[in-house]
Amino acid sequence: MVEAGPKGWRCPSVYEYLRSLGRDIGHLESLIQITFEGDTHRYTATVKQSRRNGPHARLKHLKEKHREDAEVYARMIDWLRDYNASA
């Protein structure tokens, strides 16, 4: 099921579910927005920036550098923690 999320965009209901549990996920809003827009092929300025030097660019770099999905995942998690801390 897909429900409306912040700013009127559509997101998986897991976002609303986590919010309903009282989870503090507001700080992830911009990352969720970037991911949603990229995954649904919206070519917004935000996605273009992400592909230049944001999460999309980092994931592409890690996939090119590491062969194992587990390694890409681990490195991306580390990067996202830093990304989140700087947001």
Domain that holds residue 44: 2-86
> How many domains does the chain fold into?
1
Q: How far apart are CA 52 and CA 35, in angstroms?
A: 14
Q: What is the pLDDT of residues 28-78, one digit of tens each?
A: 878 878 887 888 888 889 889 999 999 999 999 999 999 999 999 999 999
Backbone angles phi, psi at 72, to 5 degrees: -60, -45
* Burial status of residue 23 (CB atoms within 10 A of its CB: 0-12, 13-18, 19 or more): exposed
Which one, of 32, 19, 18, lies nearest residue 80 by Cα?
32
The predicted structure's pLDDT at residue 1: 45
pTM (2 decimals)? Answer: 0.67
The predicted structure's pLDDT at residue 72: 96
Determine contact, residues 43/67, Cβ cutoff 8 Å.
no
